[in-house]
A = this chain, B = another copy of it.
Amino acid sequence: MGNSQWRRFRHFCYNILHNTDDDTRINRLINYILIALIISNVSAVLLESVNPIYRSYHFYFDLFENISIAIFSIEYLLRLWSIVDSQPELPAWKVRCKWLISGEAIIDLFAILPAYLNFFVHFDLRVLRILRLVRLLKLTRYFVSLQILLAVIRREKGSFQAVIFILMMMIVMAASGVYIAENKAQPDDFGSIPQAMWWAVVTLTTVGYGDVTPVTVLGKILGAIITILGVGLAALPAGILATGLANELNARQQHLQQEFRELLIADEVDLIQDQEKIEKIRRKVGLRKEQTHEILMQLMREQSLEEKELEKKPYHYCPHCGEKLNHLREK
């Protein structure tokens, strides 16, 4: 195989494994196979933990695991090899190193590493299973809406830290209070503050198993207050997320609008015909097609409204000499 054939094959791998813009049939097929393989792997881990099933089909589970490891290893190597096509202007080793330390590469590595390490160190079988579940994270690559959610959570990091701090404070306070109230009545369940924290967590999150409940009057009054505060606390992340999501979407929409307006002024885009250009901007900003469509519709309506308003206005002529001026508006 000649050099150019290798190069063509590498570009083919790049398009399939890295280039999400390249939406061909073969591309989609291979990605669906990879998704199916990941889901099968996770299902296998779940089923293996059922002892009778594992004992009966021991051989097939091990076979499937070995095949999976082989495929994931090849996928990892091909990704590493073909990533250079993403930035052809940089030296190959630099692009590869950069990819190696990226989040998705680390997940891909952790999905196969435990199986190889198992040759040297013998893990407990159950721990090895959990480590295999990391493969589930490989799916994150295929979910686009997840990115916006994660962006919002990253953005509102500070607020969530504050919520965790409030929660911690309330858990400690609630556990201490109920420890004093219930210590003598239920020395087994409320024997120390750390023990009482289990009740505090279960109550403040409104889970309420009921395996430990206050029985004294003071404990019940305290429990009622803590429970009500718990409802308020559970409301905090919902409120933060709602606001965060709204702001994120708003920021992106404004960004898109500005981009379009700039192109419109520079006469570089036709909102009806240049679908490719619009699509490219939409991807850059990261909005859904319908949301982009709405913004486009609004811009177009504004334009036509402006034109109609201009037509209605008697002032098409220079106020000084009376010559027609409306070609000024023909942008």
* A251 engages B294 (CB within 8 Å): yes
Name the segment of A2-10, A168-176, A277-285 touching the other chain.
A168-176
Contact surface of A with B, Cβ cutoff 8 Å: 42, 45-47, 49-51, 126-127, 129-130, 133, 136-137, 139, 143-146, 148-149, 155, 158-167, 169, 172-173, 176-177, 179-180, 183, 191-195, 197-198, 201-203, 205-211, 213, 220, 223-224, 227-228, 230-247, 249, 251, 254, 258, 261-262, 265-267, 288, 290, 294, 298, 301, 305, 308-309, 312-313, 315, 318-321, 323-328, 330-331
A243-B249, A251-B294, A265-B312 known; A136-B172 Cβ under 8 A: yes
* Interface class of chain A by DSSP: helix
CB distance from A168 to the nearest CB of B (A): 8
* Residues of B contacting A315 in the complex (Cβ-Cβ under 8 angstroms): 326-328, 330
* A323 engages B326 (CB within 8 Å): no
Report which of B126, B137, B213, B309 forms a contact with A183, defined as CB distance below 8 A. B126
A229 to B221, CA, bound (A): 22
CB distance from A85 to the nearest CB of B (A): 29
* B159 engages A145 (CB within 8 Å): yes
List 7 tightest A-B contacts by C-beta distance, closest first.
Answer: A239-B241, A321-B321, A320-B323, A207-B208, A145-B158, A209-B210, A235-B238
A-B contact pairs, 6 of them (CB 8 A): A126-B179, A130-B176, A205-B231, A208-B208, A239-B240, A319-B320
A326 to B318, CA, bound (A): 11
* B208 engages A202 (CB within 8 Å): yes
**Closest residue on chain B to residue A320 by CB atoms:** B323
* Residues of B contacting A146 in the complex (Cβ-Cβ under 8 angstroms): 162, 165-166
A145 to B139, CA, bound (A): 33
A180-B127, A193-B45, A213-B211 known; A318-B325 Cβ under 8 A: yes
